[in-house]
Amino acid sequence: MNKKYPFNKETFHLKKKLVEIIYNGAKIEINNITFLETEKIVNNISSCGRNPAEVQVVLNLKHASEYILSTKDSGLELLKNINKYVSYQESLEWGVLRDGLVGVSGIDSKILIPKEEEIKDIINSDLDHYEKMLELIVRQPFWDGNKRTAYLYTLLENFRDNGEIFNLEINTFANDLHEKYMESYESIENKIDDAKKKSIQLNSHKDKTISCDSNENLER
């Protein structure tokens, strides 16, 4: 597929929406932040009484959004570089696929360490951009900033493909993401349960074999 990269005149449309893009990304993490507060923080006018961590979220999104305005990067490199900006000073490592287990609020299971090929498969899949965003978030490729990273990544990819900027409706997004988590980890738990059952059946079969051999030996 030939990509439409947002350079020159096309970049103008993204730039016009810059604060809105940052605001939507910030809403993912800061439920009650307003558009006006976001705009003032982005323009270094005021912190609007927000704590330093919340200001950092907005400024990181600003720098990540400025990066996607000019970059030619794509695929996993693009995803990593967006996370490098998004999770700056918020994460164990930024822009690097995590190498340890993480948890997600409301999910009992720990999320397994991501494999690079697995993330590439999601990136290169035929899913629409919104579904791809959800899949990337659920897989949690990074230590932190996964929702914001996936949002900016798929927003840019959608713009490159369609010349459109999709609007993230936070409530709908939250519900869809919750359902995706439940669907994904219910599937994982089922696979784990199946593996446990097979292991129990295998061990049971071995015990019976040993018992049978023992009886034959006694008879002899």
Residue the block writes with tokens 């932190």 = 144
Residue 66 domain-assigned (yes or no):
yes
pTM of the model: 0.80
Query: Three-state secondary structure along 119-173?
Result: HHHHHCCCCCHHHHHHHHHHHCCCCCCHHHHHHHHHHHHHHHHHCCCCCCCHHHH
Find the domain containing 29 and state its range.
9-176
CATH no. for residue 171? Answer: 1.10.3290.10
Confidence of residue 185 (pLDDT cuts 50, 70, 90): confident
> How many domains does the structure of the chain reveal?
1
Residue 219 domain-assigned (yes or no):
no
What are the tens digits of pLDDT across the range 131-174?
Answer: 999 999 999 999 999 999 999 999 999 999 988 888 888 889 99
Residue 105 domain-assigned (yes or no):
yes
Residue the block writes with tokens 């948890």 = 103
pLDDT over 70 percentage in the chain: 78
Residue 22 domain-assigned (yes or no):
yes
CA pseudo-torsion sign 132, 138, 144, 145: positive
Residue 89 domain-assigned (yes or no):
yes
Residue 23 domain-assigned (yes or no):
yes
**pLDDT at 139 (0 to 100):** 94
What are the tens digits of pLDDT across the range 17-27?
Answer: 999 999 999 99
**pLDDT at 138 (0 to 100):** 94
